[in-house]
Chains A and B, each alone.
Chain A
């Protein structure tokens, strides 16, 4: 045996192999995608909060700069009445985000409750709840919103949010129900039951977290849906046009034939803002799904390092790097 003696230096600090709970909670911060998403969203949230103070002009105030392209005075140009588009967009942020998130949370919540209950309870309860979600799937959103808007003195933002939520939860519920149905029969749910977990605990801690990716995707979907619905509603002129949101801006742009008149700025900026919010949500969604699935986590978290080391983690083709010692006889 011509082997050398390997005296391994005791360099490895004795620490927990897995990060501790607290550390784990902030792990997702290391995900570049999620971080970008959060940053964009945070930007809009800040604008939503402080919009009133940072908007350069009164969004309703007319000026003599009619339909001006972006300039130093008006970064996003002006409207046909000389109003500052940027101020309108800034002040519109709040209502967009508020409605979107209220509707998103509400719809997701209803969807979760109904979907998981239906999937978990099974039997008649399931059929009842499924029928309910089916009914809500077929109720047309637009007339419903018109009705509710008409029944209430002013169809304010929250009303719209609630209506969007009411008409928007059913899809999520269906998806969750199907998934719950299959999870319910998994051994680990049975095992938790056999261990004595209460039903709601099983739902909340065993089933729900396994649905997180799905719920997150659903939430992102609903929020985008809410943004789009709200903006579409404003655009068709169903919801009030006096409170600014991006849809209102677009509505005016369309009513004043901004595109035909070459006033692209009037159109472009609100649209881009909507898209940015959507993208930020999607990015966050990626972050969430990489984070909640323990199997994906380390790949997701270390994407950059991996790229640097030339490692592409794949199923079925374990990457090989010759980094370790290979000196044994």
Chain B
């Protein structure tokens, strides 16, 4: 029932999936595992920027790591598929690849920039070499010199003077290191780029530079991006589609402006509207009441129900499923995991479905 009109996006991604995550489950720990991700499904389309936002600790990084199988011990992928579709249409399940194939696929198919990128550089190698490394590993015919020349270009791309090729990581500021990591991730024109809070250590000027750069490159090279950040403003600005995570599950998945202007999940609304505006009138913000649930012992039903103003009896018993929004006029591709939108499911479980309220905001 939002009155706001749809704004056409400048860049409309084609609807062909490049990465399909289905029912991905991840545990931490082996004997008393914490189920951090439980059957998470997410699709990334070719050429699309998918924003991933959510509570701190809800499993965003875990999702990114698991999809690339880089989760450190004691992480354990306990189920699901991560199907990558190559440019030529071949599909492969990352989780089923053997070591060699996985190695080959890495960085070319999917590159990742880690959270805490400042520690991600090898302290004893010059950054040029570290970038060139990735190139020569995948393109063995590239000569060292060529690889270094490419590295120089890449550095230039992220706004670092190519003179810095011969610097060691400790000689760079945190922001520069993050940019080096981004440059490195772009080294092989990956089809999917996963970026986990790549700009936390950067000032906004730099952040903008990088974001613009990524947008540019994306347009030029047509790769897809999974962008994880807490900076909602930034996310809305650069993402085509945003997935909101809560307690190890995706609760809403829709086009960026749709999510921002017309959130369909109460949590998404809370999350996207609790940041202070830089311009315009100052306004008081409330945030989301309550605290996130314990991933180690999640209650049954909807994990958000304790903090939700719209919770009803079914929320405690039935786990919501991602389903198309029921709001008339909504993009049919958008999905939300809320019982308000799945009356059939509620009914099937023997509860009385609730009608959609007029206003979905929490406060």
Answer yes or no: are A and B bound together in one complex.
Answer: yes
A interface majority secondary structure: loop
Contacts A316-B70, A318-B75 given; does A324 touch B25 at CB 8 Å: yes
Number of interface residues of B (CB under 8 A): 48
Hey, what's the 0/1 contact readout for A1-28 against B, CB within 8 Å counting as 1?
1010111111011110100000000000
**A131 contacts across to B, CB distance below 8 A:** none
Q: Does chain B have a CB within 8 A of A237?
A: no
Q: Does A272 contact B (CB under 8 A)?
A: no
Judge if B168 is at the interface, Cβ distance under 8 Å: no
Residues of chain A contacted by B323 (CB below 8 angstroms): 1, 3
Q: Which residues of B contact A314 (CB under 8 A)?
A: 73
List of B residues within 8 angstroms of A295 by Cβ: 72-73
- A328 contacts the other chain (CB 8 A): yes
Distance to closest chain A CB from B49 (angstroms): 25
B79 touches A6 (CB 8 A): no
CB atoms of A324 and B79 under 8 A apart: yes
Contacting A302 at CB < 8 Å: which of B31, B35, B77, B297? B31
| 9-residue interface stretch from A149-157, A165-173, A305-313 | A305-313
A323 at interface by CB-CB < 8 Å: yes
Chain A residues lying within 8 Å of B71, measured Cβ to Cβ, are 318
A3–B319 Cα distance when bound, in Å, is 11
* Selected contact of B79 from candidates A299, A306, A316, A323, CB within 8 Å: A323
Please give, as numbers and ranges, the residues of chain B lying within 8 Å of A13 by CB-CB distance: 297
Q: Are A298 and B300 in contact (CB under 8 A)?
A: no
Any A CB within 8 A of the CB of B344 = yes
Total contacts A-B at CB 8 Å:
115
* Distance in angstroms between the alpha carbons of A10 and B297 in the assembled complex: 9
B3 at the interface (CB under 8 A from A): no
> Which chain A residues lie closer than 8 Å to B25 at the CB level?
324-326
Nearest chain B CB to A26 CB, angstrom units: 15
Contact B39–A328 (Cβ < 8 Å)? yes
Quick check: is B126 within 8 A (CB to CB) of the other chain? Answer: no
Contact residues, A273-327 vs B (CB, 8 A): 295, 298-299, 301-302, 305-306, 309, 311, 313-327
A sample of 28 cross-chain residue pairs with beta-carbon separation below 8 angstroms, ordered by A number, consists of: A1-B345, A3-B321, A5-B345, A5-B348, A8-B300, A8-B319, A17-B32, A17-B296, A295-B72, A298-B29, A299-B30, A301-B31, A306-B30, A309-B30, A311-B76, A317-B102, A318-B69, A318-B76, A319-B76, A319-B77, A320-B78, A320-B96, A324-B25, A324-B35, A325-B25, A326-B23, A326-B25, A328-B321
